[in-house]
C-alpha cells in the first residue's frame, strides 16, 4: 500500500489551469463539477439580496465564487458566497480569504449536496470548534452518512462482490 500524498496550498496554486474547479480537503485534491444554471441563478439572487445591505451599512465584504478560502495550508475551499465582517477584513488578501470567514453559503446541488453537508460542513466548522464540538459534529455526520443511499449501495456492492454505483445521495 502506498503512502497518501498530502498536498499543500502551494501545490494547489501551482496546478496547471485545465478549466476545472478544484478544492483541497485536508491535503486531498478534489475536482468539483461546474455549477448548473439554476445553481448560478440562486447564487446571483442571494448575492443581489445581500450585497446592497452589506455595502450600505458598511458591514464588511461579500464575495461570490469562485474564490479560494484558505482554512489551513492543506485545506482550501471555494464556497458559493462568502461574507467577511468589517472587523475581520484583515483575512482578505489579494490571493484569497486566508482564515475562516464570518459566513459561507453553499447552495446545494444534487451532485454536491452530500459533500457540502458532510466533509465541507466539518471543514468549515473546524477552525471555530473545540475538539469536543468537532468530534460531536463528526459523529453526527457519520450517523447521517450511514443512512445514505450511497452507504447502502456500498455495503450491498461489497457483499455482492461488485463495483458500487454511487449517486451522491
Give the pLDDT confidence of 53-92 residue by residue, as tens digits: 999 999 999 999 889 999 999 999 999 999 999 999 999 9
Domain map (residue ranges) of the chain: 9-108
Residue 5 is placed in which grid cell? 500524498
Q: Across the 169 residues of the chain, what is the mean pLDDT of every consecutive 10-residue run?
A: 82 88 88 85 93 94 93 92 95 94 83 64 74 76 73 84 81
User: What are the C-alpha distances in Å from 159 to residues 14, 91, 120, 168?
Assistant: 41, 48, 29, 20
Q: What single string gives the DSSP state of each residue in 58-71?
A: T-EEEEESS--EEE
In this prediction the pTM is: 0.73
Helix, strand, coil shares, percent, the chain, to 5: 40, 20, 40
Fold of 9-108: tt1808, chain A (3.90.1570)
Amino acid at each position: 500500500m502506498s503512502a497518501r500524498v498530502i498536498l499543500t496550498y502551494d501545490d494547489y496554486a501551482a496546478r496547471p489551469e485545465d478549466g476545472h474547479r478544484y478544492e483541497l480537503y485536508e491535503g486531498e485534491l478534489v475536482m468539483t463539477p461546474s455549477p448548473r444554471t439554476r445553481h448560478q441563478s440562486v447564487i446571483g439572487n442571494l448575492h443581489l439580496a445581500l450585497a446592497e445591505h452589506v455595502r450600505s451599512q458598511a458591514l464588511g465584504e461579500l464575495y461570490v465564487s469562485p474564490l479560494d478560502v484558505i482554512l489551513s495550508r492543506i485545506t482550501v475551499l471555494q464556497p458559493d458566497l462568502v461574507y467577511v465582517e468589517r472587523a475581520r477584513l484583515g483575512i482578505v488578501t489579494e490571493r484569497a480569504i486566508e482564515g475562516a470567514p464570518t459566513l459561507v453559503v453553499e447552495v446545494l446541488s444534487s451532485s454536491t449536496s452530500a459533500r457540502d453537508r458532510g466533509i465541507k460542513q466539518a471543514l468549515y466548522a473546524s477552525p471555530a470548534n473545540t475538539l469536543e464540538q468537532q468530534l460531536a459534529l463528526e459523529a453526527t455526520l457519520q450517523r447521517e452518512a450511514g443512512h445514505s443511499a450511497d452507504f447502502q449501495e456500498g455495503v450491498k456492492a461489497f457483499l455482492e462482490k461488485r463495483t458500487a454505483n454511487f449517486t451522491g445521495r
